[in-house]
C-alpha cells in the first residue's frame, strides 16, 4: 500500500467506530482527531513493540495520517529526529521494498517528541500544548480523542496518571481520554489493589485499559469461537469427558541479560499469574449471554472466584543452573525460573478436573499451547488406550495451529491402530494471510473502545487472591526451587506431578507442523 492509497473500507470502519464512541450518528461527517501519546517513548518496550504496532496499523489504513498524530514523551533529551532514528530500525522488515521505505518515512513524520519529567507539571503542560496545536490545526477540538500508552514501569503509573489528569485531559465532552497500562499490575494482592485505587481515583474504569498481550494473540482470540460456535465441543467441554487441561509456556533461552529485572518478579508473576491465567479463564468460562465485553469479563471473573487455594503438594518450582551467574542476580536468589502447578475449579462444570499451568525458561523447546486431554474410551474394543488419549491442542506459538489427536486405523490389511491428527495449521490453511501482532489488535481495540480483551479491576483482584499466599512464601524463602539443567524439560518432579494429576503422556507420537 502506497502512502496515499488508504483502504476506504478500513478508514470508513474506523471513522464509524470512533463516531459511535463519542455519541455521534453514523452519518456524521465529523470524526475528530486522534492523538496517540506514547509515554516512555525512549524505552525498549516502546521501540520494540508499541511503535512497530502503530506502524503496522498505519500501513493497513487503520491510522490515516489525516486523522492521527503520534507523540512520544520521555525524560531523555532528544529531538524529533533523534526519536525517529531510534525506532526506524524496528519498523523496517527484512525484505525492504521502496514502498515500505516510503511508508516508514511518512509514518515517522507523524511523530512529535516532547521531553519532560514524569512527576512534575512543566513537561506535561508542554505536551498538552503540542497536542492542542495539532487539534487546532485539524479544527477538531470538539471531537478530539487522546490515547495515552504508558510504556513505563508500574512504579510511575500513579504520578504519570496524576499529571495526565491535571494537565493533558481531552478538552471536550464529545471526545475521550483513555489510558493503557502495561503489566505487571503490582507484585501481590495488596500492591495491585493500591495501584488500582490510585489510578481509579483519577479515571473511570471505562477509561483504563490494562493490557495483557496474550489476550491479543490470534489463537487465544479464537478460543471463544471454537468453544461456543461449534456444536461438536459443547457437550464434551466438562468434567464428564475431559481428564485434564494443560496450559504451557516454554522458552529455550534464559534471562539473556535481564536477570536483574526478572529476579524481581519470577516466572509466576511474569507469566503464570497473568498470561496463563487469562487463557485458563477463556478455556473454563461459561457461555456469556453475548459477546459484549462486560458479559465476557463477568464470566472470566466467576471462573477466578471459583478457583481453590493452591496446595503446596501440587506445586513444583525450579531454577536453572547458571541463573545466578548473571551479575545482576543476587547470589542467594530464591526466584523460580520454572513452575508447574495444579489449579482446581470448584464448580459444576470442572469439579475434579486439574488445570495444569506450566511455564519455564532455559528449557528444551520454545512453545505456548493449550492441551485438553480427554478421558479414556470406556470398553475399548481395540485395546488402543496404550497409544494415548484423544487431545485437542491449540498451539499459540510458534507455528499457530489447532489439531486433534485421534486414534485411526493404520493403512494396510491388518486391523491395527495408530495415533494421528486432524490438523488446522494456519500457515498452510491461510497462505498469504498475515496474522497480526497482539499489540496491533489491542491498540486498535483501545481506539474503538472495546475492553473485551483487557483486564478489569475485579478480575485483577481475583487473580492476585489465587497466587499471593504462594508468592509470599516464595519471597520469604519458605518454598525452594529445584535446580535443573538448561536445555531439559525442567525438574523431573514436575513430570511426576503431571502424572499424579492424571495426565497421560503419549509416547512415540510427535506432531509435525505441515509444510507448504
Q: Which residues are catalytic?
A: 275
Contact 337, 326 (CB under 8 A): no
C-alpha cell at 60: 493497513
Instruction: Output b/e per residue, 406-444; b: 16+ Cβ within 10 A.
Output: ebeeeeeeeeeeebbbebbbbbeeeeeeeebbbbbbbbb
Q: Is 31 helix (H, G, I), strand (E, B) or coil?
A: coil
Q: Is 250 helix (H, G, I), strand (E, B) or coil?
A: strand
Alpha helix positions (H), 142-234: 157-167, 189-200, 218-228
Alpha helix positions (H), 92-230: 98-108, 121-137, 157-167, 189-200, 218-228
Within 8 A by CB and 6+ apart from 212, the residues are: 183, 274, 275, 278, 453, 454, 455
Whether the upstream peptide bond of residue 184 has omega within 30° of 0, thus cis, is yes
Name the one residue in this structure whose C-alpha cell is 499459540. Answer: 396
C-alpha cell at 425: 495449521
H or E segment and range at residue 365: none
Contact 107, 89 (CB under 8 A): no
C-alpha cell at 3: 502512502
Name the one residue in this structure whose C-alpha cell is 524463602. Answer: 477
Amino acid at each position: 500500500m502506497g502512502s496515499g492509497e488508504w483502504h476506504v473500507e478500513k478508514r470508513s470502519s474506523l471513522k464509524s467506530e470512533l463516531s459511535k464512541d463519542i455519541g455521534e450518528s453514523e452519518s456524521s461527517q465529523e470524526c475528530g482527531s486522534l492523538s496517540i501519546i506514547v509515554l516512555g517513548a525512549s524505552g525498549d518496550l516502546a521501540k520494540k513493540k508499541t511503535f512497530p504496532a502503530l506502524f503496522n496499523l498505519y500501513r493497513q489504513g487503520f491510522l490515516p495520517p489525516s486523522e492521527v498524530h503520534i507523540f512520544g514523551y520521555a525524560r531523555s533529551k532528544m529531538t524529533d529526529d533523534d526519536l525517529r532514528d531510534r525506532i526506524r530500525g524496528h519498523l523496517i522488515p527484512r525484505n525492504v521494498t521502496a514502498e515500505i521505505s516510503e511508508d516508514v518515512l511518512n509514518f515517522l513524520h507523524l511523530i512529535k517528541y516532547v521531553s519532560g519529567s514524569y512527576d512534575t507539571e512543566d513537561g506535561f503542560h508542554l505536551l498538552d500544548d503540542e497536542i492542542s496545536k495539532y487539534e487546532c490545526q485539524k479544527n477538531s477540538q470538539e471531537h478530539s480523542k487522546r490515547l495515552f500508552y504508558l510504556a513505563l514501569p508500574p512504579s510511575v503509573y500513579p504520578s504519570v496518571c496524576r499529571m495526565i489528569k491535571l494537565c493533558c485531559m481531552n478538552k471536550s465532552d464529545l471526545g475521550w481520554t483513555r489510558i493503557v497500562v502495561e503489566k505487571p499490575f503490582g507484585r501481590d494482592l495488596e500492591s495491585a489493589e493500591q495501584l488500582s485505587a490510585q489510578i481509579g481515583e483519577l479515571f473511570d474504569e471505562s477509561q483504563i485499559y490494562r493490557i495483557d498481550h496474550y489476550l491479543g494473540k490470534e489463537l487465544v482470540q479464537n478460543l471463544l469461537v471454537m468453544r461456543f460456535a461449534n456444536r461438536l465441543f459443547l457437550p464434551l467441554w466438562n468434567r464428564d469427558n475431559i481428564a485434564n487441561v494443560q496450559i504451557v509456556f516454554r522458552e529455550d533461552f534464559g534471562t539473556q541479560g535481564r536477570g536483574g529485572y526478572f529476579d524481581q518478579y519470577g516466572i509466576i508473576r511474569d507469566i503464570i499469574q497473568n498470561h496463563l491465567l487469562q487463557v485458563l479463564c477463556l478455556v473454563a468460562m461459561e457461555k456469556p449471554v453475548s459477546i459484549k465485553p462486560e458479559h465476557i469479563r463477568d464470566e472470566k471473573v466467576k471462573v477466578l472466584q471459583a478457583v481453590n487455594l493452591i496446595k503446596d503438594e501440587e506445586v513444583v518450582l525450579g531454577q536453572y543452573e547458571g541463573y545466578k551467574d548473571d551479575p545482576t542476580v543476587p547470589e542467594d536468589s530464591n526466584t523460580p525460573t520454572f513452575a508447574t502447578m495444579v489449579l482446581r475449579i470448584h464448580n459444576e462444570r470442572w469439579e475434579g478436573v486439574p488445570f495444569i499451568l506450566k511455564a519455564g525458561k532455559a528449557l528444551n523447546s520454545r512453545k505456548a499451547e493449550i492441551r485438553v486431554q480427554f478421558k479414556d474410551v470406556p470398553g475399548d474394543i481395540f485395546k488402543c488406550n496404550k497409544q494415548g488419549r484423544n487431545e485437542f491442542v491449540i498451539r499459540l506459538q510458534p507455528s499457530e495451529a489447532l489439531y486433534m489427536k485421534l486414534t485411526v486405523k493404520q493403512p494396510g490389511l491388518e486391523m491395527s491402530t495408530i495415533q494421528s491428527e486432524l490438523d488446522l495449521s494456519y500457515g498452510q490453511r491461510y497462505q498469504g494471510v498475515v496474522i497480526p501482532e497482539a499489540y496491533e489488535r489491542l491498540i486498535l481495540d483501545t481506539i474503538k473502545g472495546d475492553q473485551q480483551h483487557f483486564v478489569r479491576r475485579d478480575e485483577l483482584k481475583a487473580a492476585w487472591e489465587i497466587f499471593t499466599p504462594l508468592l509470599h512464601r516464595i519471597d520469604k524463602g519458605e518454598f525452594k526451587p529445584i535446580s535443573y539443567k538448561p536445555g531439559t524439560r525442567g525438574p523431573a518432579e514436575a513430570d511426576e506431578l503431571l502424572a499424579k494429576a492424571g495426565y497421560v503422556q503419549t509416547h512415540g507420537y510427535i506432531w509435525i507442523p505441515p509444510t507448504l
